[in-house]
Amino acid sequence: MKRTIMKALLDWKISKRRKPLVLRGARQVGKTWVLEEFGRTFKDGFVRFNFDKNPEFAHFFQTTKDVRRILQNLAMASGQRITKDTLIIFDEIQACEEALNSLKYFKEDAPEYYIASAGSLLGLQLSGGFPVGQVDFLSMGPMTFTEFLLADGAENFAEYLASVNEFVPVPDAFFTPLTEMLKHYFVTGGMPESVLAWTEDKDPREVDNVLSGIISSYESDFGKHAPAEDVPKIRYIWQSLPSQLARENKKFLYSVVKPGARAREYENALNWLRDADVVSKVFRISKPGLPLSAYDDLNAFKVYAVDVGILRRLSYLPVTAFAENNRLFTEFKGALTENYVHQSLKRGFEVAPRYWTDASHEVDFIVQRESDIIPVEAKAGESVTSTSLKRYAKNYGEQTPLMVRLSMRNLNYDGKILNIPLFMADELDRLIRIAMLQHSV
């Protein structure tokens, strides 16, 4: 499998201002695998220490803050040579707080060593605070649709999508198979194990078994790692995700979690899920302005699952649905489509996406690209009216250089709205740049 985060890791490797790396991401998105693949680019390879499987390694960090002594002890315990040309991987580092705290000492006292750390629930640990300026952060999510194409032997289609640089319709020879592959992606999602099951066996039942196992591991984490008083609330919120996203207005409502539930009772539970990276909160903005975060309405937000395949399985949508025209895209108010678009935007833009509403209209996402703020609509089918985009343009037209609609319509740009097929969502940032250049000519 090819992961696009590898480029960011290689950039970190050659950076003159490199610090110990913290790789964040939900359980089973492939963090350990990608770090080991990255480690193979080093002259002396990699050495990995898993603090969950081998808690005895914690002793080396508890007895001293001398990082060179720590490395000597780790080398002896593992039987592996550690040099300045070795990638040192601290895996499941959240299981050893002393190891996590040691990263600042590696930065200060041994910056010549390459230290990369990862952990399935690292976000929970980091939510409590971490020394600013002592580490570099990278976030990793499930495989994108582009990465799915590469894993499924469709490199030619991935190359085609990356080569599109003008707004002419995608030929049927590409459009039809890419639509079918996007249906497959909605079934499998981007969890590497699920993608592997599909690419090896092409058996949807095996995909469902894998996704059920991942969901079970997430739910097991709730009981093991969350505060005891929050565990039932976390489960209620997690199980409510399909219902939340099946509503026409997808604003998160605590009353959908449980009748009578209130924010002050469930807010900590929702934030636990967010910090564990298994859900994302997308805030409503009162108006488009820079920075977007300054206009967040903290009482109005939508919640998306970490992965479209996880959401499908959590919703018990049968895999047979993908054979029925475009039903999988439109099922339960296009929730899968919107979740998929959010996943792509989250990976493709530095600033987290928001959304906008007025009394009767909603624009699904608002993205910030450099100093431009761009509305993005996610439509599950071919029939689109864009009334919300038109209302947005009426309110904020002078400060809106471009509007984007992702749908099952073909690629088109009329000077106002850029329509992009859903299977091109990963190319959005690049296509916006091309459209903006055309607009400025």
- pLDDT at residue 327 in the model: 66
What's domain 5-139's superfamily in CATH? P-loop containing nucleotide triphosphate hydrolases (3.40.50.300)
Question: How far apart, in whole angstroms, are the C-alpha atoms of residue 323 and residue 422?
Answer: 18
Residue 324 has what pLDDT? 64
Q: How many residues does the chain have?
A: 441
Classify residue 121 by its DSSP letter.
T
**pLDDT recorded at residue 329:** 66
Least Cα distance to 153 among 104, 102, 96, 200 occurs for 200
The answer to whether 150 touches 158, Cβ cutoff 8 Å, is yes
Burial 190-224 (b: 16+ CB within 10 A, else e): bbbbbbbbbeeeeebeebbebbeebeeebbebbee
Q: In degrees rounded to 5, what are phi and psi of residue 65?
A: -110, 5
Contact of 115 with 88, CB cutoff 8 Å:
yes
Element at 91 (helix H, strand E): strand 87-91
Q: What pLDDT is recorded for position 249? A: 87
Task: Write the DSSP symbol of residue 170.
Answer: P
> How far apart are the C-alpha atoms of 415 and 435, rounded to whole Å?
8
Whole-number Å distance between alpha carbons of 4 and 144: 9
Cα–Cα distance, 406 to 412 (Å, whole number):
11
Instruction: Please give the C-alpha separations between residue 151 and each of 180, 193, 334, 343, in angstroms, as whole numbers.
Output: 15, 11, 26, 18
Q: What b-and-e string marks burial along 63-76, b requiring 16 or more CB atoms within 10 Å of the CB?
A: eeeebeebbebbbe
**For the chain, domain boundaries:** 5-139, 145-440
Taking phi over 0 as left and psi of -120 to 50 as alpha, with beta for the rest, 382 belongs to: alpha
Which residues have CB under 8 Å from 115's CB, separation 6+?
20, 21, 88, 90, 103, 106
Q: What are the C-alpha distances in Å from 217 to residues 127, 223, 224, 278, 310?
A: 21, 10, 10, 12, 12
Helices 231-246, 263-275: crossing angle, 10 deg rounding:
90
Q: What is the pTM of this model?
A: 0.94
pLDDT at 438: 84
Give the pLDDT confidence score for residue 127 in this predicted structure.
63
From first to last of its 441 residues, what are the pLDDT tens digits of the chain? 899 999 999 999 999 999 999 999 999 999 999 999 999 999 999 999 999 999 999 999 999 999 999 999 999 999 999 999 999 999 999 999 999 999 999 999 999 999 999 988 887 777 666 666 899 999 999 999 999 999 999 999 999 999 999 999 999 999 999 999 999 999 999 999 999 999 999 999 999 999 999 999 999 999 999 999 999 999 999 999 999 998 888 999 999 999 999 999 999 999 999 999 999 999 999 999 999 999 999 999 999 999 999 999 999 988 776 666 666 666 666 899 999 999 999 999 999 999 999 989 999 999 999 999 999 999 887 767 779 999 999 999 989 999 999 999 999 999 899 999 999 999 999 999 999 988 765
Degrees (nearest 5) of the Cα angle 144, 147, 151? 135
User: Which tokens belong to 261?
Assistant: 């539930």
- Beta-bridge partners for 46: 87
